[in-house]
Amino acid sequence: MGEGVVSTCRFCDGGCRVVGEAGDDGRLRVAPASPEFPAICPKAAAVDEYRLHPDRLTVPLRRVGERGAGEWERVSWDEALDEIAAKLRAVIDEHGPEALAVAEMPLNIGFGGVTRRLMNALGAVNYTAPTQLCMGNTAQVHRAVYGWFASPDWARADCIVYFGQDRDMQRWPAEYLQLKAALARGATLIEVDPRLTDTARLADYHLRVRYGTDAALALAWINVIIEEGLYDAGFVAAWCVGFDELRERVAAWTPERAAEVCGVDAELIRQTARVYANAACAVIPWGVVADMQVNSTSLLQAQCILRAICGYLNDGENVSGPALGGVVNAQLAAFEMLAPEQRAKQLGQDGPRAHPLLTMCAAALYRDATARAGIPYEPDILGESQACDPSALFAAMRGEGPYPVRAFFAVGNNTVMSYAGQQGIVDAIRAQDLVVVFENWLTPTAQLADYVLPGDMWAERDVLGPEFDVAPVLTASYALREPAGECRGWYEVAKGLADRLGVGDALPWADARELFDWRLAPIGKTFDDLRDGRPVLAEAPARGCFLTPSGKVELASSALATLGHDPLPSYVEPCDPAAAAEPGRYPYVAFAGLRERASYNTNFHQMPTFRAQAPEPLLLINPADAAAEGVADGAWCVVESAYGRVELVARLDDAQPAGSVRVPHGWWKPELPGGLVGGLSAACLHNDGMLMPDAEWNLDPVQGVPGLRGTVRVAVRPR
């Protein structure tokens, strides 16, 4: 590693740009790539603590004994790949390529497109990623309204509307610095959040809505803006369709009605709607809160409508469209290799567990629009435009689908803990003929595998990014160290499998560098040309080109209507049927997903530096509620829904609204025994997925994202 090598920290999804240098002791040091914009958090400084951790996986492992027994033996890479390919070929020959499923997180492996290319060459269509309930699904709702994803222009923003975001220097530090800069120049902050968070304390307006009622608030804002004539009539007339239908829909959503639903003051709703509409450059940045509700589609659609009718599209909120220069991830994926009859087999497009918005049948609705814009490939925004539905996938893996799924790969993804209905996912993986995991750690998912393949980590790999298609830009990150032990990069693994499975021609590049140069050749660049760290801008469709079926902003979405769903946003009161059937048994609304400072999703619990900051999984509960249940601060307690139970340490928290509790996401204890006997290192004792079902009543009907905020009700008692 030379001095000042540029890379991208992937200890979270913030993606802070860093430079790496060797210290006097030989240890790796990282610093912000731009001293003028010091977006970096303490996790980045722990790069060697992570990379050289004694529990890190550095050799391939093969299961011995029963699945989940925790018994392993070391094998060579060639042995592992030979055996995996032979077993996968047997599954495909017996059940067809649709019997292979993959759950992958591209950010954790440094690649987008490669896995899809291998799958498409085989004819495999059942792919999912955690972005299904974290930004990837947002992108598909944006697509239904605009044709592409909208991104805020932070440099100009004079009004910021946050739905539940709580940013600081440990949680998306780059955005936190942008927020602070906007506030320093006089921008207004509107925070929609039931909790009184640190970010809410910075806000000019704080709307403490009931959990899960955000969509009702957004509908009332639209009502005020239309009824008071605050919308941009010129933009609406020239660029939007469906305005009259929208006006009729929101007429019933007066601030008074929304106030009753949301639990906030009607005049505050009116006032904040006016502030947003009268701003010069208002933005609604993405936030995961909107992605994990049963009303997610309606909330996201309402946010899109607010941007549009107030005239902020491409004047504060930029809709760039897919890149036309360089080979992006979707082009690399080469979806054209899939025959129509294979596409039709993708799970979740129809049937009893149909949630079509993120599937291939929805992607097909935009083909004419992309062709009109001269885009020569099928876009895949944030890796979720061509994905199967997780609940349908896990059901098929358990034998409850239209056909069997018998082979499962988890690639840089702790699948067991990443979705609702955790016990059902465990059962699904246990039912497989072949389970392969590519990982840094022996995670709860890896503990159920037949083969665990040791992957490199972000400081050990070259990356041509971004790993998801969202904006017409290409970036480069360079390895700061060689991979530890026998760890390998994902391209080497994918190519090794492709060669053994008889589809080696689909991955003809000798290594990742050769692939990167091929991707950059159309714009006359090589991977080494990007070492200065500056992004390369690619071409994009003309500004104001909306890649919807109509070619305009669809306030009433034709895509949603074609898929058999309401083309306009609405609001449905969340309801836990088991709790409704037994009034009083489950008195508290459960909220999951508040991002921890000391960890990232399921990662970092094995790191001493950060585990010391958060040694146990915490239940946040209002002091009055804790007193009513006899739960003491710092004491272990049991949290139980009608669908499962977890054990957590109570933290009395005045910021937590009465009648609700916060349960943590991603908690397991790597230091505890693994396997089924150990509850997958206590993942089955502490993780929120044990409380939240993937039953249809708890899923957004269009996207299939689970209701983790405001739907499931729980009881709390001392342990």
pLDDT, one tens digit per residue, over 544-575 is: 789 999 999 999 999 999 999 999 999 999 99
Which residues on adjacent β-strands are paired with residue 188? 159
Q: Which amino acid is at 404?
A: P
Nearest to 281 by CA among 254, 311, 309, 308: 311
**Residue spans in the chain of domains classed CATH 2.40.40.20:** 577-718
Identify whether the C-beta of residue 482 lies closer than 8 Å to the C-beta of residue 5. Answer: no
What is the reported pLDDT for 281?
A: 96
Q: Tell me whether strands 188-192 and 100-104 are parallel, antiparallel or unpaired.
A: unpaired
**Three-state DSSP class for residue 578:** helix
The residue to which tokens 């034709």 are assigned? 558
Nearest to 647 by CA among 631, 670, 627, 671: 631
- Given the residues 13, 168, 499, 517, the one annotated as active site: 13
pLDDT, one tens digit per residue, over 59-80 is: 999 999 999 999 999 999 999 9
Q: Percent of the chain beyond pLDDT 90? A: 85
Q: Which amino acid is at 51?
A: R
**Three-state DSSP class for residue 160:** strand
Q: Domain 150-320+543-562 falls in which CATH fold?
A: Dimethylsulfoxide Reductase; domain 2 (3.40.228)
Both tokens assigned to 472:
């017409």
Checking if the pLDDT of 2 tops 50, the result is no
* Average pLDDT, integer, range 345-355: 94
What value, to the nearest 5°, has the Cα angle with vertex 6 and ends 459 and 465?
A: 75
Label residue 687 left, alpha or beta by phi (over 0 means left) and psi (-120 to 50 means alpha).
Answer: beta
Buried b or exposed e, range 133-165, using 16+ CB within 10 angstroms: bbbbbbbbbbbbbbbbbbbbebeebebbbbbbb
Looking at per-residue confidence, does 14 or 511 come out higher?
511
Checking if the pLDDT of 706 tops 80, the result is yes
What is the reported pLDDT for 533?
A: 85
Check the CA dihedral 154-381-438-391 and report its sign: positive
What is the reported pLDDT for 3?
A: 61
Find out if CATH 3.40.50.720 is the number for domain 577-718: no
Among 5-9, 409-413, 697-701, the least confident range: 5-9
What is the reported pLDDT for 1?
A: 39
Identify whether the C-beta of residue 451 lies closer than 8 Å to the C-beta of residue 443. Answer: no
Q: Tell me whether strands 61-63 and 451-454 are parallel, antiparallel or unpaired.
A: antiparallel
Identify whether the C-beta of residue 286 lies closer than 8 Å to the C-beta of residue 691. Answer: no
Q: Percent of the chain beyond pLDDT 70? A: 99
What is the reported pLDDT for 486?
A: 98
Task: Please state, in angstroms and rounded to a whole number, the distance separating the CA atoms of residues 255 and 249.
Answer: 14
Checking if the pLDDT of 714 tops 50, the result is yes
Per-residue pLDDT band for 173 (boundaries 50, 70, 90) equals: confident
Q: Domain 5-51 falls in which CATH fold?
A: N-terminal domain of TfIIb (2.20.25)
Q: Which amino acid is at 426?
A: V
Identify whether the C-beta of residue 68 lies closer than 8 Å to the C-beta of residue 90. Answer: no
Q: Is 13 a catalytic residue?
A: yes
DSSP conformational letter for 652: E
Task: Please state, in angstroms and rounded to a whole number, the distance separating the CA atoms of residues 481 and 491.
Answer: 17
Per-residue pLDDT band for 534 (boundaries 50, 70, 90) equals: confident
**Three-state DSSP class for residue 537:** strand
What is the reported pLDDT for 596?
A: 82
Checking if the pLDDT of 330 tops 90, the result is yes
Give me the count of residues in the chain. Answer: 719
Q: Is the peptide bond before 466 cis (omega within 30 degrees of 0)?
A: yes
What is the reported pLDDT for 168?
A: 83
Alpha helices in 100-158 (DSSP H): 106-109, 114-122, 136-146
* Average pLDDT, integer, range 181-199: 95
What is the reported pLDDT for 155?
A: 94
Task: Write the CA distances from 546 to 263, 283, 322, 377, 627, integer angstroms.
Answer: 36, 19, 11, 17, 54
Within its chain, how far is the Cα of 413 from the centroid? 11
Helix, strand, coil percentages in the chain from 3-state DSSP, rounded to 5: 35, 20, 45
Question: How are strands ordered across the β-sheet holding 28-32?
Answer: 5-8, 17-22, 28-32
pLDDT, one tens digit per residue, over 634-674 is: 999 999 999 999 999 999 999 999 999 999 999 999 999 99
**Residue spans in the chain of domains classed CATH 3.40.228.10:** 150-320+543-562
The residue to which tokens 């603590």 are assigned? 49
DSSP conformational letter for 75: -
Task: Please state, in angstroms and rounded to a whole number, the distance separating the CA atoms of residues 655 and 58.
Answer: 43
Q: If 0-12 CB within 10 Å is exposed, 13-18 middle and 19+ buried, where does residue 196 land? A: middle
* Average pLDDT, integer, range 449-464: 97
Which residues on adjacent β-strands are paired with residue 316? none
Q: If 0-12 CB within 10 Å is exposed, 13-18 middle and 19+ buried, where does residue 671 land? A: exposed
Hey, which CATH number is domain 61-129+354-533, 3.40.50.740, 3.30.950.10, 3.90.190.20, 3.10.310.30?
3.40.50.740
Alpha helices in 214-265 (DSSP H): 214-227, 233-239, 243-250, 255-262
Per-residue pLDDT band for 152 (boundaries 50, 70, 90) equals: very high
**Residue spans in the chain of domains classed CATH 3.40.50.740:** 61-129+354-533
* Average pLDDT, integer, range 31-57: 90
Contacts of 34 (CB under 8 A, 6+ apart): 17
Within its chain, how far is the Cα of 696 from the centroid? 20
Task: Please state, in angstroms and rounded to a whole number, the distance separating the CA atoms of residues 2 and 575.
Answer: 57
Among 24-33, 352-361, 404-413, the least confident range: 24-33
Identify whether the C-beta of residue 676 lies closer than 8 Å to the C-beta of residue 444. Answer: no
Task: Please state, in angstroms and rounded to a whole number, the distance separating the CA atoms of residues 336 and 506.
Answer: 12
